[in-house]
Amino acid sequence: MRWYAPALPLLACGVAALACALPSGEVGSIQTSVAATLTSVVAAVPTDTATPEPTPTPAPLPPRLWKSYSGGGDTGWWLENGTAIEVTLPVEPGQYYDYNSVNGKILYASHFATAGAGPSNLAASDLWMVDYPSGTPTALIPTDTVVEALWSPDGLGFVYIGATPATYELRFRSLAGEDRLLAVNVSPTWSVSPTGAAAAFTRETGYELPGAPGLFVVSTAGGPETMISSADRHGAGSIDDRPIWTVDGSFLAMPNYGFAPPTLVIAAADGSLDANLSYAPDVTDDPTVGSAPTAVLWHPDGQHLVAITNYSESMGGPSPVFLFELGADRHTVVSATPLGLGIGLVDWNVPGHSFFILDENANVALVNVP
C-alpha cells in the first residue's frame, strides 16, 4: 500500500500558477527544478509499511497425569492441549504422589498407610514406581517409612520425606540409587522448585520436633538451608498444601492456617521478603476477595496469582476464583478479576492464559484467563 504526502498536491498547484505568471523562457527551467524536488520528496516517502513480527503462540504444558493427592480409586485425569480426560491407572495406588512427564512414571504407595511412623506418628507407607499407561511396578523403598514423595522435574530422581524413630528427613534419591540427606525435623508441607535445584519445606510446632518454625529452602544437591519466612503453620491446613514457586524460582506462596485469620505467606527464595498477602482498601470492599486463598498458581510474570479463596456460600461448596494483580511490593493485591467458581486448582494449561480447575462436580475443567 502506498502512502502519499498530503502536501504534494498543493505544491503541484503552486508550481502551475507560478509557471503561468513567468515569461515563457523561464517556465521550462522552473518546471525542471520543481520536478527534481518532487522526485526527491517522493523518494524520501516510504512506499510500503513494514510487516510486523508475528506474536509467538504460547505453548501448553507437556501432557501429564493429575490425580488429587487426597483422592482414592484407580482413576486420574490426563491433561493435554486444553482437554482433561478421566483415565484408568495401571495400578490402584494406596496413595498417589506424583507423575513425571519426562520419564512417564508414577510415584505411589502400594497400600494405604494404616499405621504411623516417626515421633509424630505420621502416616507412612512404602514407595513404588510404574510406567503410565502400562508397565511393571517397581519397588523403590519397600519399607513403610515414606510420608510423601515428589519427582524432580528432570525425572532422574525424586525428593521424599522419610520417617525415622527420632525425626522426619527430607531426602533426594536418584533413580541410579544415590540417596542424600537434605534436612531433618521437617514437616509435611513442602515442594520441589521448577528447575529441581532446590526444595522448600516447613518446620512447624505440633510435630514434637526441635527447631524454629518457618519456611526454608535447601539445595537438592545438599548444603546449608535458608530460612525465608518465620511463619508457623502449627500443623494445620490441608494435606494438599504446598509452597508454590514462581516459574523462575525467585518467590514462593504458601497457605497458612496456623492462626486466625488464615493468610497466604509470600516469601522471596533468597530471604529478602517475608510478608502475608494483603489487600488494597478498594479490593477488600468485596468480602469474597479478602478471604485468604487456599491454593494459588503463580502467573509467569510473577505479578499475578490465580487464587481460589477460603469463601463458600455452603459447606463444601465451590469457592470464588480470582486473578489477583500484585503491587510493586509483591504481596499487596491491587486488583481482583473474578474467574468463576471451583473447589480446587489443578495446574496451568497454557501458563498465564488458561488453567485447569476442579469444579463442584469433581470434574477437571478448563478456565481461560482474560
Distance CA 47, CA 153 (A): 52
Nearest to 207 by CA among 223, 225, 185: 185
Q: Is the Cβ–Cβ distance between 348 and 58 less than 8 Å?
A: no
Q: Is the Cβ–Cβ distance between 103 and 130 less than 8 Å?
A: no
Side-chain-side CA neighbours of 148 within 13 Å: the count stands at 19
pLDDT at 54: 64
Distance CA 124, CA 109 (A): 9
Cell of 224: 546449608
Q: Is the Cβ–Cβ distance between 122 and 148 less than 8 Å?
A: no
The SS3 assignment for 38 reads helix
Q: Is the Cβ–Cβ distance between 281 and 290 less than 8 Å?
A: no
Cell of 205: 510446632
What is the full per-residue pLDDT of the chain (370 aa) written as tens digits? 333 333 433 333 333 333 334 344 444 444 444 444 434 444 444 545 566 666 667 899 999 999 998 788 999 999 999 999 999 999 999 999 999 999 999 999 999 998 899 999 999 999 999 999 999 999 999 999 999 999 999 999 999 999 999 999 999 999 999 999 999 999 999 999 999 999 999 999 999 899 999 999 999 999 999 999 999 999 998 888 999 999 999 999 999 987 778 899 999 999 999 999 999 998 877 767 778 899 999 999 999 999 999 887 777 789 999 999 999 999 999 999 999 999 999 999 999 999 999 999 999 999 999 9
pLDDT at 136: 96
**Identity of the amino acid at 89:** L
